[in-house]
Structure 1
Amino acid sequence: MLDTSTVQARRARSREPSQIPEEKITMIGETDMPQGMQSHALRVASEALNSHNVNDCKEIACYIKKQFDKTYGPGWQCVTGVSFGSYITHSSGSFIHFCIDRLAVMLFKAAT
């Protein structure tokens, strides 16, 4: 059994403390995004969760997509939920899949 300090240490390594509130556990699954873009994705997802009901996956995905379209140009796609499968093609350097709290987020720019 893990003690509390071990669990907290593991959680701390799996998120950027300056951008994700303490109570949110963040875990990046797969990504080929540059580090700065990854940080931006985590920050935007955190903003979306703070301003929307966690069960409103469509609005959370819409918020994240629009923020990335505005910052990095159009063509971004975002899928959020508790359980989903996917098979996609994306532009190189634009994919991230992560969990924040219990919500999974998949964000990518569509391949052209």
Structure 2
Amino acid sequence: MAFRLQVNQANMSDAMQREALECSLLALSTNLDIATYVKQVFEERHGGYWNCIAGLSFRFHLGQVDACYVHFTLHNTSILLFKTG
């Protein structure tokens, strides 16, 4: 199955962006909850507190410009991953 990908906004390394994409693809292809899976993987691998929101459409505003985050669209799903705390 081919997926369309578009990175909308990001303030994290290219490697971490690829990792977020790979986690999301795995979750999508195995019918896991994307938000829960990506959050757990990033907390295990990178420490700290991560939040992930996944859905068909949503708007957001992150108050800190220097926050570690990525917002991308994978197929028809928008995914926002960001670190807090």
After superposing on structure 2, the runs of 4+ consecutive aligned residues of structure 1 that deviate more than 2 Å are 87-93
| Equivalent residue, structure 2, for 1:70 | 44
Question: What is the aligned counterpart of 1:108 among 79, 82, 85?
Answer: 82
Higher relative contact order (CA 8 A, sep 6+): 2
Shift of 1:94: 1.5
- Unpaired runs of at least 5, structure 1: 1-21, 54-58
Shift of 1:74: 2.8
- Matched to 1:27, the amino acid is Q
Aligned pairs, number: 85
Residues 34 and 93 in structure 1, CA contact (< 8 A), matched pair in contact too: no
With the length of structure 2 as denominator, give the TM-score of the two structures: 0.89
- Unpaired runs of at least 5, structure 2: none
Shift of 1:99: 0.5
- Percentage identity across aligned positions? 27
Distance 1:29 1:81 in 2: 15
1:80–1:66 CA distance, 2 compared to 1 (3 A) = same
Distance 2:34 2:19 in 1: 15
| Equivalent residue, structure 1, for 2:72 | 98
- Matched to 1:105, the amino acid is I
Distance 2:63 2:48 in 1: 16
Residues 94 and 109 in structure 1, CA contact (< 8 A), matched pair in contact too: yes
Q: Could you say what secondary structure the match of 1:65 adopts?
A: helix
Q: Could you say what secondary structure the match of 2:73 adopts?
A: strand
Distance 2:62 2:11 in 1: 14
Q: Could you say what secondary structure the match of 1:66 adopts?
A: helix
With the length of structure 1 as denominator, give the TM-score of the two structures: 0.69
Distance 1:42 1:66 in 2: 14
